A and B are shown apart, each in its own frame.
Chain A
Amino acid sequence: MITLIVIALALAAIGLFYMAVRSRRQRPHQVVRPVDLKAFRTLVDREDELFLKQRLPRASFARLKRQRVTVTMRYVGRIANNASLVMGFGESARLSSDPEIAQTASQIVEVASQLRLQCLVALGKLSLEFALPSLQLTPAVLAPEYQQLRENVVRLGKLQPQTAAPLPVAI
């Protein structure tokens, strides 16, 4: 029995390494994924949720809440994906021979990684809300990290106008 479990573990590891290689090959083709803002705004509206909770029967509300949470998780997943792309951009810019660009890129990577972490926390809370639809957990606090990221990306854009032009304008 132990032998089988150990062999299964080793095979799972080989499968994981294969997936890592595949995902690494696909990474250069990744782009920022668009977000439907109107739908997102409706999804995160707590007052709207409260209204539905008061009006709908418990079972219907639970079903609806789970659907909302599923879609919200997809949006947060997209934001996390985009934060990861910014991290990748920062990692590359960190290799720059200009120390100021490298330093700013390091700060961007740091803030983007914090944002990514906040997204993970948000996903965790949303998972809990999915399991217990009556819960209303406080969403992750992303404001300071995002503000810092914005300032750093703008600074990098000024230092590296030819490479990073669209990024500071958009962010």
Chain B
Amino acid sequence: MDLTLSLRVLSVAGIICQATLAFVLLWKKVWKSFPLFSWYFGTGSLATIMMYAFQHSRAAYFYLYWTVEALGIGLGFAVVYEIFSNLFGNHNALHRLASVIFRCVLGLLLCIGIVVLIRHSPFGFRAVTSAVVIVEESARIIEIGMLMCLFLLSSAFGLHWRQQVFGIALGLGIFVAVELIRVTIWGQAGKEAHDALNVIRILSFDTSLLIWIGYLAAPERAAKEVELPQRSQLEQWNQAVMELINQ
């Protein structure tokens, strides 16, 4: 299929998905429990409309595009914070340790981001474009690193993700990971590869939209569906824990 046609088809699909997600956010009142994610999505949708309106004005489109990118990254960090709060908010014992680990990882990622920023060789574009792409790459490294840290911490602590939080994290994670690959290759590739990379970007965003719609629209598993362990197994566990305590 022609790349331009693919871009158009995916863009239309994206607009339909965004409209569906907006409906789900309002229908399920997700904006009440996830205000930062709602802002992230709302701003992104508004940006899509504005960019569509300014697509024929090259200069306006350029500045609008990078402003939206910066805003998207900033709000992306806010969404990561919201996921962290939702995941650990009910676990005071784990929250303190998780916060310390999370801050350490953030510090480390900031260092890595700065190293990438300084050591990266300049691209063959305008100085402003090069700088913006490298800054975006560094920011995406930090964002994906924080999301990975969240998934690893929840696994280490044996936390149960609520469906909506998991969906938001997964959708954001996939989009940011693909976006990181795209930005990294974008700087190295020639201008002819940029259309293909744009198709990949829109495809990944549409995938994330579908994930968000799926996880936010589906009902949360009810308490009665939880499988209780067998009594004999729990008795064994009880005794095993007492052994560990009394040693």
Bind each other:
yes
Q: Are A110 and B223 in contact (CB under 8 A)?
A: no
A6–B226 contact, CB under 8 A? no
Q: Nearest Cβ distance between residue A32 and chain B, in whole angstroms?
A: 4
A3: chain B residues at CB < 8 Å are 184-185, 188
Interface flag for A143 (CB, 8 Å)? yes
Contact B223 A96 (CB under 8 A): yes
Q: Give the complex CA separation of A21 and B173 in angstroms.
A: 12
* Main SS class of interface, A: helix
Q: Which B residues, 127 to 184, have Cβ-Cβ distances below 8 Å to chain A?
A: 137, 141, 144-145, 147-148, 151-152, 155-162, 166, 170, 173-174, 176-178, 180-181, 184
Is there contact, CB below 8 Å, between B174 and A166? Answer: no
Give the contacts of B196-247 with A (CB-CB under 8 A).
220-245, 247
Q: For residue B233, which residues in chain A have a CB less than 8 angstroms away from its CB?
A: 31-34, 170
Are A110 and B93 touching (Cβ within 8 A)? Answer: yes
Tell me if A32 and B237 are in contact (CB < 8 A): yes
State whether the Cβ of B13 lies closer than 8 Å to any Cβ in chain A. no
Q: How far is the CA of A107 from the CA of B173 in the complex (A)?
A: 31
Asked if B97 is at the interface (CB within 8 A of a chain A CB), the reply is yes
Cβ A170 vs Cβ B144 within 8 A: no
Min CB distance B125 to A, Å, is 16
- A80-93, CB under 8 A of B: which get 1 and which 0? 11111101110111
Nearest Cβ on chain A to B106's Cβ, whole angstroms = 15
Tell me, in angstroms, the Cα distance from A115 to B97 when the chains sit together.
14
**B52-90 at interface with A (beta carbon < 8 Å):** 90
Q: How many A-B residue pairs have CB under 8 A?
A: 183
Looking at the complex, which of A8-16, A51-59, A63-71, A127-135 is the stretch in contact with chain B?
A8-16
Asked if residues B223 and A139 are in contact (CB atoms below 8 Å), the reply is no
Residues of chain A contacted by B50 (CB below 8 angstroms) = none
The distance in angstroms between the C-alpha atoms of A3 and B237, with both chains bound, is 49
Could you give, for residues 99-137 of chain A, a 1 whenever the CB lies within 8 Å of some chain B CB and a 0 otherwise? 000000010011001111100101000000000000000
Report B's interface with A, CB cutoff 8 A.
Answer: 90-94, 97, 116, 119-120, 137, 141, 144-145, 147-148, 151-152, 155-162, 166, 170, 173-174, 176-178, 180-181, 184-185, 188, 220-245, 247
CB-defined A-B contacts under 8 Å, sample of 12:
A2-B120, A10-B180, A20-B170, A34-B233, A35-B236, A37-B239, A41-B243, A109-B91, A116-B157, A117-B97, A117-B157, A167-B234
What residues make up the interface of A, taking CB atoms closer than 8 Å to B? 2-3, 6-7, 9-14, 16-17, 20-21, 23-24, 27-28, 31-35, 37, 40-41, 44-46, 75-76, 78-85, 87-89, 91-96, 106, 109-110, 113-117, 120, 122, 139-140, 142-143, 146, 163-164, 166-167, 169-171
